[in-house]
Amino acid sequence: MRLAPWIAAATVAACAAPQGPPPPPGPIEEVRPTPPAAPSPPDVLPSTVVPRAYRLELTIDPAATSYAGVVELDLDLATPQGALWWHAARSVTIDEVTVRRGVAAIAVAAQLPAAGGGDVVGVALAAPLAAGPATVRLAFRAALGDGVGVFRDPAAGRLVATHFEPEHARAGFPCLDEPRWRAPIALTLRTPDGDGAYANTPEVGRVREGDWVVRRFAPTPPLPTYLVAFAVGALVEVAVPGAPVPTRILAPPGTAHVDLVRADLAELMVASSRFVERAWPWPKLDVVVVPSLPVAMENPGLVTIAGAWLEGAGTADGRAHLEQVVAHELAHAWFGAWVTPRTWSELWLNEGLATWMADRVTRRRARGHRADADRIVARRAALAADDAPGARPLRPREVAQPRALFDAVTYHKGAAVMHALEAWLGDATLAAGLTRYLDAAPWSTATTDDLAAALTAVAGDRPVADVVDELTRRAGVPAIAVTRICAPDAASLRVLPLGANRLTPVCLRWGGADGGRACVVVDGATTIAVGARCPPWHLVEPDGYARWRVAPAAWASLATAPLPPSARLASLDAALDALADGAGDLDGTLALAGAALTHGDAPTAAAAATAMRLLVDAAGPRLRPRVEAAVAGLAARAVADLGAARPDDEPGRAVARAHAVALAGTYGRDRKALRAATRTVAAWRRGARVAPLTLGPALAIVGARGTAHARAQLRARAALPTAAPELVPWLGLALAATPEALAAATAADLPPAVRHAVGAVLAADPIRAAALFASLDPGEAEDLRQLTSAPCAAPPASATGRAPSSPVVAAAVARCQALVAQLAGP
């Protein structure tokens, strides 16, 4: 045989050496086998171990700082395992671990702690465990968290609540904490006598143990761990009549505007069920108001909602926002609970679809056009986020931090993509596809490919999969130009991509005797025949997801077109974009804004007024007088068209009139309007009751044009903490127009809401935004920047050199400054 070189050398040396007597025997040492190294925690839990059920028992006292529990995990091992792993945050201390198969105990060699900063822990088994079922029992203790996990709410008096999304269930109890796994959870809560206790499912048993009460809750259907929820504490229970299942609102004593949630909740539940043509999928619903929670959470059967949103529901805008939030959380009963995204990279299937469904449900209710306008405003935020440098796709291939996905791209771009697909495919086709999607994975998980396959199955030969892939896998906003081609006997619209060619579904509408609508997928130059005569106007419908423009001369035609408010608002946005890009028309844009002010609803009128102020402020010195005169004329015409206030005024008409009066009085230099505004503000200052939509414009006019004495009196009155919430934006507008505006944005004597309203106006001002941010420390600057969706300057870098503003802010600032550059004038 051939030997290894070192063995051959040793053999030769041994043969050549003389043989001496053997050495005396020494002490005999026991040779112990080296124990195998403990396995290291994996970066990702293996797919070969699947949770099948949880049994969770917790002892929680809202007066304590920690809690204790026992959890049993039923696992299914697809292959033999030498170690078992799960998630547990560092705030969770595991006191005891046992493993069994059936009644047989499985020997545990060692507990395996997390490595580095990870949260994967487990046990090494004494011998590999063959494939099959296993149960792990863990006794543990954990600290109450700070707003996530299981936490105590200091603003609620006596309340412990949960927030587990995206990866905080592991801070609540040891579990397999990823959305790909769903398992039923049977919860038992042991709480002090006198406290309420609530969970995802109905209570099915209760016993008293001295000063404690033990409640058992029905097992849930299979759930991902991030949807597990419970609440313990002193909560007032308010029953909701007319709901499809037993429904309550649970709130700390003294919570404001619970009656508003109660008034809307049952109707929203019924509308949601009707929208998806399915019965409500859960046996009960509790909505828990958590004062310090900054968000809402769709835990099935136990939705949690921020207390601040109820506090702000006293205004029309606040109530509309609250309704949208509730509708969104209810939509998650299907998009999130019934079907869960398989990975966090598919989060838009939760949040984008729920946002889209909430838009559709609220649109069918009394809010009508307001919901449409709110959708256009939300899409504006999505476009800004998607335009930002380094923007990520809707469906990223890798996710380092799931928390970073909860942004305007996931929510608002996701919803906009669904609106675009619905407009292209049609309501009935999209509904049929969603039915297939929901039917294919009840209480299970799905991917975007599953959604595309369901839509493809009902969409005929349309390239659904390719379009969905383009919209979800590629970042950035598509852009198109639409031009009118008129021949003697035929007319057409030509659609061209601007920049890189992308598959983009869009729907166009045109007017005139041959008016109509057509939807196409833009893939290079596309021509649409529109009849024998040239249409007087044309546009891209507001449901698409693309920036668009028409020829500069065509913008003015949209001002006189018979458009719904959402189309007016979307056209105004498009005209402003074109103007910033050097491809627009100032007069046409102003005419569009005037039409939106006169013919829009409340949010459309407010947006039109904001656009007019932006155009005035952005105009250079030589151009500004012409823009001011145009705005004053358009506003005066709107005042005349809207007419005098009447008792039966629709809210939208009254809001539009208020904005028109404010603009006409500010830029029209009408002394009569200034005198009337001064008298109105003086009466209010003396304590007279003045309707907010009468007082608001008067405040704006006096702030902009009043005497120094009148402004000083207005400033003094604004410092009193008695202003109605509806007046706060008007006070912000008024004080932002004064010479002391920069000081007012941080004045300690002004109520925070008024101070922030001033800052929001200045942050969107093309000229004064930079001065505002430069006068603040970075934290204050970023707080103020967040109060406007369209800042015209970015907060400065912090002392560490790190800019607190996101790329989204940079994109919005760049667009505003581009508009300033275009309007600088010769």
Q: State phi, psi for 725 to the nearest 5 degrees.
A: -55, -35
For 638-671, letters b (16+ CB in 10 Å) and e give bbeebeeeeeebeebbbbbbbbbbbbbbbbbebe
- Distance in angstroms (rounded) separating the CA atoms of residues 295 and 723: 26
* 345 assigned to some structural domain: yes
Overall average pLDDT of the 682-687 stretch? 92
Give yes or no: residues 344 and 226 share one domain.
no
**pLDDT of residue 785 exceeding 80:** no
Mean pLDDT of 676-703: 94
Using pLDDT thresholds of 50, 70 and 90, give the confidence band for residue 804.
very low
* Model pLDDT for residues 382-440, shown as the tens digit of each residue: 998 898 888 999 999 999 999 999 999 999 999 999 999 999 999 999 999 999 999 99
Closest CA to 94 of 63, 76, 121: 121
Single out the residue in 473, 500, 527 at which a domain terminates.
Answer: 473
Record the tokens describing residue 285, joined without a space.
């619903």
CB under 8 Å to 721, separation ≥6 — which residues?
751
Kindly state whether residue 329 falls inside one of the protein's structural domains: no
d(CA 601, CA 165) in angstroms, rounded, equals 36
- Does 24 reside within a domain? no
Does residue 368 register a pLDDT over 60? Answer: no
Q: Within a domain: residue 341?
A: yes
Q: Looking at the 3D structure of the chain, how many domains does it have?
A: 2
Residue 2: its pLDDT value, please? 32
Q: Are residues 351 and 202 in the same domain?
A: no
- Asked if pLDDT for residue 645 goes beyond 90, the answer is no
pLDDT at 24 over 80: no
With a CB cutoff of 8 Å and minimum separation 6, the contacts of 49 are 75, 76, 77, 78, 81, 84, 85, 176
Q: Is the pLDDT of residue 200 over 50?
A: yes
Residue 286 lies in a domain: no
| Predicted local confidence at residue 826, as pLDDT | 66
Computed from CA positions of residues 691, 692, 697, 702, in that sequence, does the dihedral angle turn out positive or negative?
positive
Q: What is the mean pLDDT of residues 802-821?
A: 76
Boundaries of domain holding 397: 334-473
Domain final residue pick, 421, 442, 473: 473
In sequence order, the β-bridge partners of residue 16 are: none
Quick check: is 351 in a domain? Answer: yes
Query: Rounded distance, CA 362 to CA 375, Å?
Result: 11
* The pLDDT value given to residue 119: 94
Query: Of the ranges 362-376, 596-610, 631-645, 650-664, which one carries the lowest mean pLDDT score?
Result: 362-376
d(CA 677, CA 694): 9
Helical (H) or strand (E) element with 137:
strand 132-143
- Residues 375 and 786: their CA atoms lie apart, in Å, by 19
Buried b (16+ CB within 10 A) or exposed e, 520-559: bbbeeebebebeeebbbbbbbbbbbbbbbbbbbebbbbbb
pLDDT at 797 over 60: no
If asked whether residues 223 and 104 sit together in one domain, one would say yes
Query: Do both 66 and 199 map to the same domain?
Result: yes
d(CA 797, CA 368): 42
Give the largest CA-CA distance in the chain: 129
- With a pLDDT cut of 70, the percent of the chain lying above it is 92
In the predicted model, what is the mean pLDDT of the chain?
90
Q: Which of 473, 505, 540 finishes a domain? A: 473
CB distance 615 to 652 below 8 Å:
no
pLDDT exceeds cutoff 60 at 805: no
Least confident of 200-209, 237-246, 649-658: 649-658
Distance CA 415, CA 355 (A): 6
Is residue 229 located within the same domain as residue 370?
Answer: no
In a shared domain, residues 53 and 178: yes
Whether 786 has a pLDDT exceeding 80, the answer reads no
**pLDDT tens-digit readout, 216-225:** 999 999 999 9
Q: Is residue 434 part of a domain?
A: yes
Q: Tell me the C-alpha distance between 336 and 740, whole Å.
A: 49
pLDDT bracket for residue 648 (50, 70, 90): confident
| Model confidence band, residue 799 (pLDDT cutoffs 50, 70, 90) | very low
pLDDT tens sequence across 465-522: 999 999 999 999 999 999 999 998 899 999 999 988 899 999 999 999 889 999 999 9
Least confident of 19-33, 294-308, 315-329: 19-33
- Domain containing 354 — which CATH number? 1.10.390.10
Q: What is the pLDDT of residues 757-777, one digit of tens each?
A: 998 899 889 888 888 888 776
* pLDDT(4) > 50: no
pLDDT value for 779: 65
Per-residue pLDDT at 180 exceeds 90 = yes
Using alpha carbons only, what angle is made at residue 460 by residues 456 and 465, rounded to the nearest 5 degrees?
Answer: 30
How many C-beta atoms lie closer than 10 Å to residue 488's C-beta?
A: 7
Confidence check: pLDDT of 99 > 50: yes
Q: Identify whether residues 208 and 86 lie together within a single domain.
A: yes
Residue 382 located in a structural domain = yes
Q: What's the confidence (pLDDT) of residue 14? A: 34
For residue 723, pLDDT over 70 is answered with yes
pLDDT tier, 366 (very low <50, low <70, confident <90, very high otherwise): low
Q: What is the pLDDT of residues 43-69, one digit of tens each?
A: 999 999 999 999 999 999 999 999 999
**Residue 12: pLDDT band with limits 50, 70, 90:** very low
Instruction: Give residue 388's pLDDT.
Output: 85
Average pLDDT score over residue span 804-817: 76
Claim to verify: residue 199 and residue 344 sit in the same structural domain: no
pLDDT in tens, 732-759: 999 999 999 999 988 889 998 898 899 8
Q: Note the pLDDT tens digit of each residue in 142-172.
A: 999 999 999 999 888 899 999 999 999 999 9
We report the CATH number of the domain holding residue 108 as: 2.60.40.1730
When mean pLDDT is compared across 152-156, 571-575, 796-800, the lowest value belongs to: 796-800
pLDDT above 90 for 784: no
pLDDT (tens digit, 9 = 90+) per residue, 239-270? Answer: 999 999 999 999 999 999 999 999 999 999 99
